[in-house]
Amino acid sequence: MNIKITTLVENSVYGKGLQGEHGLSLLVDTGGHRLLFDTGASDLFIRNARVLGIDLREVDFLVLSHGHRDHTGGLHHFLALNDKAEVICKKELFRPKFKEERENGVIQPGALDSTRFRFVEETTELCPGVFVFPQLAITDEEDTHFEHFFTTAEGGGRQDDTFADELVLVLRQAGGISVLSACSHRGITNIVRTVQDNFPQQPLRLVLGGFHIRNTEREKFEVIARFFENRLPQRLGVCHCTGIDKYALFRQCFGDRVFYNYTGRVETL
């Protein structure tokens, strides 16, 4: 099957009539099903979709990568537009979230229709060849991105957010597997290890998403670069919280197998 991945919103934009914002939303079209991966920070992904001639009322599944507002900010807008899509996420998505003192979680969770949600705890095939991975083991602590993020503790007060709500999308085709990660708070190297442990001997076609190293020291980049020296996918797409400067470093290391996944861009597998 051919799969088309359209970036409906991202920090950068080059397409005429489109707009960008600090957020991410990807549309995955398998030919038989349409899946939306995150909703950006507002309703901008819907407006961009209209410019691109995409009808989001036809989306079958909305997959939410984690509970931060730049990925769930458009959730209410999507549910008002689309009355059929099932929302796939982890139950931890609704835990209160903070960046330092600023609240950063799902907007008005109590106003959402709970019947639209399916909470996943184990690897699940949503439709033929499309999987969600909700259990992302941390093998390398150096490639985690929890700094400045907090959630509420069970007994009250705040605790470090280790992103128990994070999940990723995996696409399996005859030619191998592709991994879509929105922010990789638990580390893109840890994510790829987890996926490859579940699909051994499968070539890695594409890794696409945000790696959350935009404001980090170069050491964080080097951890990822060393990992990809031995496990470089055929295509490495970076965006959102990766940072343009880190994209340039990836290009220096891995050449034209690396691309920046801007608003309006289409990747076909």
| Lookup: tokens for 116 | 């639209």
pLDDT single digits (tens) 174-204: 999 999 999 999 999 999 999 999 999 999 9
Q: Which residues contact 107 (CB under 8 A, 6 or more apart)?
A: 69, 72, 73, 75, 76
Determine what percent of the chain is predicted with pLDDT higher than 70. Answer: 100
Do 35 and 126 form a contact (C-beta atoms < 8 A)? yes
pLDDT of residue 216: 87
- pTM value is 0.97
pLDDT at position 157 over 90:
no
Distance CA 109, CA 221 (A): 35
pLDDT at position 1 over 80:
no
pLDDT at position 15 over 80:
no
pLDDT of residue 122: 98
Do 53 and 23 form a contact (C-beta atoms < 8 A)? no
Pairing of strands 176-181, 158-160: unpaired
pLDDT of residue 173: 97
Distance CA 145, CA 35 (A): 26
- Residue 150 binned pLDDT confidence (cut-offs 50, 70, 90): very high
pLDDT at position 28 over 90:
yes
The fold of 4-268 is Metallo-beta-lactamase; Chain A (3.60.15)
Distance CA 3, CA 31 (A): 7
**Domain boundaries in the chain?**
4-268
pLDDT at position 109 over 90:
yes
pLDDT at position 71 over 90:
yes
Q: Which residues contact 97 (CB under 8 A, 6 or more apart)?
A: 67, 68, 103, 104, 105, 106, 149, 150, 151, 161
